[in-house]
Amino acid sequence: MKSRGCLVGLVVIGVIAIGLVMWGMGVYNSLVGLDESVRSSWSQVESQYQRRADLIPNLVNTVKGFAQQEKDVLLGVTEARARVGQITVTKDVLEDPEAFSRFQAAQDQLSGALSRLLAVAENYPNLKSNENFLALQTQLEGTENRITVERQRYNQTVQTYNTTIRKFPASLIAGFTGFREKQYFKAKEGADTVPEVKF
């Protein structure tokens, strides 16, 4: 009888062990799926940034033909684009707050430089009516909107991922298998300040 009780006990322990392993595998696979969703969202953000980077030389050359005296603005856009290109984006950037901040700051500087370039264009009626410029401006504005949408989707995906890896008991599996918190896009510095409007 004792051996039968031991056998039942071993079977119960075996079933529990198998159940825990299966549960752990399920949690791990879920975390892998969420991690891949973050990476996919990130690649969409990068794709839109690349689209913007590809449009910039054409836009700068078009403006350059009309506004030679705006060399500082044109140089600012070119330099900002070069700074963005110097940042190597690896998967570790998503988990490193400082590297992510540097990436976001470079992108924000490029956005600011492009805004100044488009503002300068307002002073040149011939440029504003140029078909190439108008087409490039429309594409750039559309790309900026796409960047905003993709950043928002990325942040939503990161929120789901970060929430999951912090919840118990998934946090045990996440910590044990090396899943780390991903970084969010944040508003630009000073975005909370109401702009001053003067007439």
Angle at 106 (CA atoms; ends 101, 109), nearest 5 degrees? 120
Contact 153, 40 (CB under 8 A): no
Which pLDDT does position 197 carry in this prediction?
Answer: 43
Question: pLDDT truncated to tens, each residue of the chain (199 aa)?
Answer: 567 778 778 888 888 889 888 888 888 889 889 999 988 898 888 888 888 888 888 887 777 777 666 767 777 788 888 887 777 777 777 888 888 888 888 888 888 888 887 777 777 777 666 777 778 888 888 888 898 899 899 999 999 999 999 988 888 888 888 888 888 887 666 555 554 544 3
Tell me the whole-structure pTM to 2 decimals: 0.73
Which pLDDT does position 189 carry in this prediction?
Answer: 64
Which pLDDT does position 198 carry in this prediction?
Answer: 44
User: Which CATH superfamily is 57-181 part of?
Assistant: LemA-like domain (1.20.1440.20)
DSSP of 30-95: HHHHHHHHHHHHHHHHHHHHHHHHHHHHHHHHHHHHH-TT-HHHHHHHHHHHHHHHH----GGGGG
Which pLDDT does position 89 carry in this prediction?
Answer: 73
For residue 196, give both structure tokens.
């001053």
